[in-house]
Structure 1
Amino acid sequence: MAEFWMELQPVDSYRVKANGVLSEKDRKILTFLYQPLMGAECLALYDTLVTEVEENRLWSESHSHTQLLNLLGISLPNLFQARLKLEGLGLLRSFVQTVGESRHYIYEMAAPLSPEQFFSDGLLNIYLYSKIGNAQYQRLRRFFSDTPMSEDGFDEVTRSFQDVFETFTGSELPVTTAENGEPVGRAQSRGVTLDDKAFDFAVMIQSLSPTMLSRNAVTEEVRACILKLHAIYAIEELDMVHYLYRSVQADGTLDLDYLRKIVRDGYQMQHNRLPELKAKTAAPPETTTKQELQEGASDTEALAYYLENVTPYQLMVDISDGAVPAETDLKVIDEVMAQQNLPIPVMNVLIEYVLLRLDGKISKNYMMTIAAHWKRKKVQTAKEAMEMAWAEHEKYKKLQEEGTQKAPSNYRNNNRKFNQTGRKEILPDWFDKEEVKPVEKAMTTREKSTLDKQVEEMKKRLKEGR
């Protein structure tokens, strides 16, 4: 999943676009059919955005995302994830325009599927069934269904327009101009959008035997059904071929209802459960790199690897012992990274360097100055950035020894030394290139640095495969 802080900040503005009017029935569909799949926060976000558009209007006024955060009482990460779920379910389309350092969003709201579309969707209804169980699922089907009355024995006596009204004889016609605006109609449904990036239809088609199933039988409707089955049950191309063979009817066409049934039964038989709808998470680091670290990597190598692979947001969380970083700090990091176009590993080293030099504080001007310097030096990796930081420290150290500049203070709680005035100079582990004894032997537990703890916890997580 995308890192929210790189795409969304509270100061970013937005406007809501309605592609039509939602009915009371649409709201019931959202509450009973969509809410179990996406959660209450998503429903609250959808309702809030729709409500911002005034009655008989298509556009809302412009607001910052801070308003949404205050109205919903949720964090920025939760707001971003709720937005992604609405997009994935076909209830929201997002557009962004970047002007200088400002981002402006348009959120276009879509209506939910009708009950008939939802219960025959082949994707959303399966996940709903898995989520709420058979009894509740059947109750909802009855809630949104009705038995049609038979019209047998009745003759239609409806008159046409011409039977009721006189033919128009006026000479003037109504004039339509752009100033009059766009008439508001009912909101349109989009449904879930699936692509075929993860399913290779070419492989499946080539594997079909012409004597078993004609390739012409794989129509657009069949393709759409296959994509939904793959999205739900992760059926591979060759396995899908066998399911298609079993679904062939006497006339050579495919029975899609039977295809859905045998795929579902096969999944249940193998996993003893129905599939669940889950949001994607970030992929773990590659196993090969983990193995290299497990073979006796030094603290410096482990730290370099950590800074190469962690996101700036997660780095801030780790440094804060799990606390959510301040929005102002994230905004500064985002601006510096965007303006200087620094690689993420280099930005990570810069974040840690600035936090250590400024005793846990973020300064935009200070960070921007160093970032510009590293950009001019074409620093691309965490190791190169660490070398630059070490070289900068050596320069300060030399100036201090010459008595022309004070030594930096409050940098790190390890590798402590005293300057000529008796003031402690605190340095990061990777600034000191001289061989030192293992930290466990050289320091007491109380004197262990935050960096040492961070490195140990990171190496432990790598060994556990997290």
Structure 2
Amino acid sequence: MSTQGVKPNTKFKLYGMQRVTTEELQILILLYQPLIGPVATSFYLTLNTLATRGQGEEYAHHFLLQMLNISMDDLIEFRHKLEAVGLIQVYCHKGDGTLAYSVRKPMQAKEFFNDGIINVFLNLKVGHPEYQQLKRLFAEEVPEIEGENISKPFNEVFDTTILMRSSAMLQASPLPTNQTDKKGVTLELSFDKELLFSLLHQFGMDETMVSQKLLDQINRIAFLYKLDEHELARLIFDALDTDGFVNLELFRKQAKQYFQFLNKGKPVEVVEVPQVNPENLSHTPEQEQLSKEKQLLLVLSQHPLEFLRFKQHQKEPVPADRQLVEWLVVDQQMAAGVVNVLIDYVLNISDGRLPKQLVEKIAGEWQRKEIDTTEKAIAQVKATLKAKHKRELEKTVPAANKVYAKPTRVVRKEQVPDWLKEQGATQEDKKSLSDDDLQKIERMKELQNQLLNKKG
């Protein structure tokens, strides 16, 4: 059963009885609430209280709707937020579709501010001055001790060369942990690990140099700054220290600088991915068309390089195409959706190619027309295709069916007698005259010639 198809009568159970301490409540309100909102915070406290009072008790979702005074769609949305920040985990029984909510404690303040993802989103959400103020509220003051620290370091007390005799000794097993006890936000791998290791191998690096902890940090940075495997490999190689190890702080710094360079100093933005409930999908033609347009806008809103990979069946763009896309985004500062519409249009009219001159020409035209949104770009393409279709249609119309206006000629007219005007009759006019009329005209011509000869 998909969790999207949850109904008010769907049953659920609660696990993980966790009594929230005063410190944890303060962390929840001051650090989590700006990210998930007050209703989701209340949702979490309600689940936690129910789990504390009666663990293993079975409830219906209708109970939560009444307690929180919200709709089913809102409940699903707020639940997803709690899942994303790691406050609950949801399990679905394959047999009867019963859900199980595992309620988890908030991270400690130190863990929260060192997470690398959730703290960054909090900074973006509330603003840097307010973030620093929140950080000061949870800063632990370490008392200053007078005097010189004369404590012995590890390598002055133990002989580390003995530890290196057997590589098996280096594989020290940590304490067994339950996966559900892991705190912090969970991220799916946002890049192809095999491709990354292959690229690192080209730089002379071995995959054993990348520990799981380092890989987790790389994944977080790749997610934040939307870095692909080629960009990650280059940044990792540039962050190597003299001993051949990756300097994580240097890697973070360079990744941030690279992102700001591509985006002209613009910061990372916090966006919520729209959640679609299949139960509420419309079936009327108008609503289905609206849904398709929303899906189109969602596809066009991704990073232009990701969109180009999508158009090329996930194949890596060639350097010339990458440079052209970077020129549109960085130098021309065009919005991602506008760039994607331009790319899609040029690929369709150029047989899958991206001619540089054509792309630059269209980009310049759109800049002059102030096309700065995805909707405007789509409307411009539709108008261009409509005009092109009209021109092609006009070419197919037979010339005989076209009506052209005859050009008017200015002819100088001489003053002649009225009867002489009949000489100017056209051949068409003659065809309409009778034989008697034509004979009269001929006699008049003869009379005119006789008069002229006598004068001569």
Structure 1-normalised TM-score?
A: 0.50
Aligned to 2:281: 314
Aligned to 1:333: none
Describe the superposition over 1:33-82 as per-residue Cα deviations: whole angstroms up to 9, x where unpaired: 11222222221110110111345x6x153221111111111111110111
Determine helix, strand or coil for the equivalent of 2:97.
Answer: strand
Q: Cα 1:71–1:152, aligned 2, differ >3 Å: closer, same or farther?
A: same
Q: Cα 1:96–1:126, aligned 2, differ >3 Å: closer, same or farther?
A: same
Aligned: 1:80 with 2:76: yes
Q: Is the 8 A contact 2:199 2:230 kept in 1?
A: yes
- Give 2:128's match in structure 1, choosing from 134, 143, 155: 134
Q: Which runs of 5+ in 1 are unaligned?
A: 155-186, 284-309, 322-459
Determine helix, strand or coil for the equivalent of 1:208.
Answer: helix
Structure 2 matches for 1:270-349, cutoff 5 A? Answer: 270-271=262-263, 272-281=265-274, 311=278, 313-315=280-282
Aligned to 2:41: 43
Aligned to 1:246: 238
* Offset, 1:255: 1.4
Q: Cα 1:54–1:244, aligned 2, differ >3 Å: closer, same or farther?
A: closer
Larger Cα Rg: Structure 1 or Structure 2? Answer: 2
* Offset, 1:282: 6.2
Q: Is the 8 A contact 1:119 1:125 kept in 2?
A: yes
- Give 1:24's match in structure 2, choosing from 19, 22, 25: 22
Q: Is the 8 A contact 1:113 1:189 kept in 2?
A: no
* Offset, 1:244: 0.8
Determine helix, strand or coil for the equivalent of 1:140.
Answer: helix
Aligned to 2:63: 67
| Aligned counterparts of 2:203 and 2:224: Cα–Cα separation in 1 | 29
Q: Is the 8 A contact 1:38 1:85 kept in 2?
A: yes
| Aligned counterparts of 2:145 and 2:257: Cα–Cα separation in 1 | 39
Structure 1 runs (4+) deviating above 4 angstroms are 151-154, 209-214, 316-321
Q: Cα 1:209–1:316, aligned 2, differ >3 Å: closer, same or farther?
A: closer
Structure 2 matches for 1:27-426, cutoff 5 A? Answer: 27-54=25-52, 59=55, 61-97=57-93, 103-151=97-145, 190-196=183-189, 198-208=190-200, 213-271=205-263, 272-281=265-274, 311=278, 313-315=280-282
Identity of aligned residues (%): 24
AA partner of residue 46 (structure 1): Y
Describe the superposition over 1:151-181 as per-residue Cα deviations: whole angstroms up to 9, x where unpaired: 5679xxxxxxxxxxxxxxxxxxxxxxxxxxx
Q: Is the 8 A contact 1:37 1:277 kept in 2?
A: no
Q: Is the 8 A contact 2:17 2:51 kept in 1?
A: no
AA partner of residue 313 (structure 1): N
Q: How many residues align?
A: 260
AA partner of residue 266 (structure 1): Y
Describe the superposition over 1:135-165 as per-residue Cα deviations: whole angstroms up to 9, x where unpaired: 01111111111221145679xxxxxxxxxxx
* Offset, 1:25: 1.1
Q: Is the 8 A contact 1:54 1:60 kept in 2?
A: no
AA partner of residue 98 (structure 2): H
Tell me how large the CA RMSD over aligned residues is: 3.3
Structure that is richer in helix per residue: 2
Query: Using CA pairs below 8 Å that are at least 6 residues apart, which structure has the higher relative contact order?
Result: 1
| Aligned counterparts of 2:134 and 2:17: Cα–Cα separation in 1 | 27
* Offset, 1:317: 8.2
AA partner of residue 16 (structure 2): A
* Offset, 1:96: 2.2
- Give 2:10's match in structure 1, choosing from 9, 12, 28: 12
Q: Is the 8 A contact 1:26 1:112 kept in 2?
A: yes
